[in-house]
Amino acid sequence: MASPATRDDSIQIGLSLESEFLQDIPTQLFQAVEGKLHHDQRKVNVFTANKDYFANAYSNELKVNTLEEFALIKQRLLTLPIYMRVELRRHRKSGNTTHINYGTFIVMVNTKHPSIQPQLQECLDRAESYLREEQKFALEIDFGPVLRSWYKLRHDNSSASYIAKNSYFCITNFRKKSKVFVNPVWWILCLPVCLLAAPLYCAYRHALSEDFSCVLKSAVRYVEGTTPAQRLAMRNMIQAVYAQGVQHGHMTAATRPPQSPPTYSEAAPPSYNDATAPPYHLMKQNSDDDLVQA
């Protein structure tokens, strides 16, 4: 796994255990303040369903109402790397016992890679066309399948149930889909309420919104950033991706009036040059820092 990491352009999706990431934070992107990480919004996109570490991240639902808002989101996704905090789980039954392996990972996506960017471009173009036609839509950008495949390979393709939590985000001018009502497994688990309500919910969504997903294809390769050399390669790649994004932004600015990035749900982080920033101590969750077996 180490050899692909020596070439920046080979990294498509980089994975690092959360504990490893916190030991070697890429300081050109993140600053830790009062136990939380603030990122430089000009250099990276961060998506997370919770804000245990990434204080000023996007949530997993992005609302857009105008073409101008969508254009900003689209440009950011196609020019800046994406960070996500994802939990991968493996459930394997043996008799009456269920064995669980899990780990919390920081996932970095190189959106400028030629194997990834066309997939994002196609789905974003489709969403933009719905917005131009004043139709409601919900686009899910889903990294779950490729992450589950990687996790299965980590366990020698052993037979089990593999789960990727918080591995997607939704861009919508309506609202994101409820996972409870669109998953048949939940229909059975939540009998009889879901069995009655779920078909009605699906019909409601079909009538009011164009729901579709951008699922990353299996051509994506994986590199674990768990050694110093691999993490250094990931940092070098991030810098290269950022430089490409800046160049793209300069080209775009020549044809479009400059605008600010989309606002975040919390205040912007303090300046990275602020020497008066308070000291920090990262709070680690021992329960999921490492792969464990129960």
93 lies in the same domain as 142: yes
- Assess whether pLDDT exceeds 80 at residue 211: yes
99-151: per-residue pLDDT in tens?
A: 888 889 989 898 988 889 999 999 999 999 999 999 999 999 999 999 999 88
**pTM for this predicted structure:** 0.73
Alpha carbons 18 and 105: distance in angstroms, whole number:
5
Q: What spatial distance separates the first Cα and last Cα of the chain, rounded to whole Å? A: 27
Which two structure tokens, joined as six digits, stand for 292?
Answer: 């464990």
223-258: per-residue pLDDT in tens?
A: 555 566 766 766 666 666 666 655 655 555 555 444
Which two structure tokens, joined as six digits, stand for 243?
Answer: 């430089």
Which two structure tokens, joined as six digits, stand for 268?
Answer: 């912007």
Angle between helices 117-132 and 67-79 (to 10 degrees): 180
Per cent of the chain over pLDDT 90 is 30
90 lies in the same domain as 234: yes
Structural domain harbouring 195: 178-208
136 lies in the same domain as 198: no
Q: Look at residues 267, 291, 293 and name the one whose alpha carbon lies nearest to residue 56.
A: 267
Task: Number of helices (H) and strands (E) in the chain: give both, helices first.
Answer: 9, 13
pLDDT band per the 50, 70, 90 thresholds, residue 284: very low
pLDDT band per the 50, 70, 90 thresholds, residue 266: very low
Alpha carbons 128 and 125: distance in angstroms, whole number:
5
Q: How many domains does the chain have?
A: 2
Residue 286, domain member (yes or no) = no
Please report the pLDDT score of residue 113 as a whole number. Answer: 86
Please report the pLDDT score of residue 75 as a whole number. Answer: 94
Give the count of alpha carbons within 13 A of 215, CB side only: 9
Centroid of chain to Cα 251: 26
Q: What is the SS3 assignment for 235-272?
A: HHHHHHHHHHHHHHHHHHHCCCCCCCCCCCCCCCCCCC
Residue 5, domain member (yes or no) = no
Q: Which residue has the tokens 């600053």?
A: 31
Please report the pLDDT score of residue 100 as a whole number. Answer: 85
pLDDT band per the 50, 70, 90 thresholds, residue 190: low
Higher pLDDT, 96 or 3: 96
Residue 109, domain member (yes or no) = yes
Alpha carbons 40 and 111: distance in angstroms, whole number:
17
168 lies in the same domain as 79: yes
220 lies in the same domain as 92: yes
196 lies in the same domain as 69: no
Alpha carbons 250 and 242: distance in angstroms, whole number:
12
CB 169 within 8 A of CB 47: yes
